């Protein structure tokens, strides 16, 4: 009987220790998740076809997710069919959700100006129309100042032969594009536009900014 009681007591203590350990692990995991949410920020840019831009930022270390959408116009609830007319005022844009401890807004801005031509008005490569114009959106005065300072830096250093026409605009609203546009490049690798326009643009970025790339494991 004493042996049984001893075994039962030991088993109970063991279960308590396991529960405490599990509880600590859960608390630790929740704490890490809370910190990750605090570090997670959003940035918004428009620099041509969002299929291309999305795939570029998806490959950046510290970027958690990228969504294609529409921003910069006045029309409510724009659709792809409406914005391609160029009459809604919206541009094809992306929402970048990033870990600010790993990659900064300044880094994302550097990639933005380094992966498209900010000197072509209402055009990016073969795509023409106001929906393909260059826009750097800001959500705070700090972001606005960062964008303006970086543009001044590019001008001082004569980084581009022609005048920079990128718009610097406050983000009023971002409308998510239709589901078939999300992650389009990965889902449609044999699409002619992806093969001839998007992939070369992505590879050029990967070669130019290798220090920003995720590893094969995505970290």
**Separation CA 40–CA 17 (nearest Å):** 34
Active site residue 49: yes
**Separation CA 153–CA 156 (nearest Å):** 5
Pairing relation of β-strands 40-47 and 63-71? unpaired
Radius of gyration for the alpha carbons in the chain, expressed in angstroms and rounded: 24
Nearest CA to 44 out of 69, 26, 24 is that of 69
- Report the DSSP beta bridge partners of residue 170: 138
CA end-to-end span of the chain: 56
- Active-site residue (options: 41, 45, 48, 49): 49
Helix axes 199-208, 105-114, angle to 10 degrees: 120
CB 95 within 8 A of CB 101: no
What amino acid positions are annotated as catalytic residues? 49
């Amino acid at each position: 009987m004493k042996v049984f009681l001893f075994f039962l007591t030991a088993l109970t203590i063991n279960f308590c220790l396991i529960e405490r350990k599990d509880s600590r692990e859960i608390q630790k995991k929740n704490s890490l998740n809370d910190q990750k949410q605090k570090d997670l920020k959003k940035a918004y840019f428009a620099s041509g076809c969002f299929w291309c831009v999305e795939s570029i930022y998806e490959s950046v270390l510290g970027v958690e997710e990228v969504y294609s959408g529409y921003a910069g116009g006045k029309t409510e609830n724009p659709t792809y069919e409406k914005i391609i007319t160029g009459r809604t005022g919206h541009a094809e844009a992306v929402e970048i959700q990033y870990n600010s401890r790993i990659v900064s807004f300044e880094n994302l801005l550097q990639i933005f100006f380094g992966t498209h031509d900010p000197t072509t008005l209402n055009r990016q490569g073969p795509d023409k129309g106001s929906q393909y114009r260059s826009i750097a959106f800001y959500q705070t005065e700090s972001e606005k100042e960062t964008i303006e300072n970086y543009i001044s830096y590019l001008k001082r250093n004569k980084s581009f032969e022609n005048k920079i026409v990128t718009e610097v605009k406050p983000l009023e609203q971002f409308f998510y594009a239709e589901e078939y546009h999300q992650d389009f490049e990965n889902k449609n690798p044999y699409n002619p536009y992806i093969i001839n326009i998007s992939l070369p643009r992505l590879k050029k970025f990967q070669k130019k900014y290798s220090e920003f790339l995720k590893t094969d494991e995505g970290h």
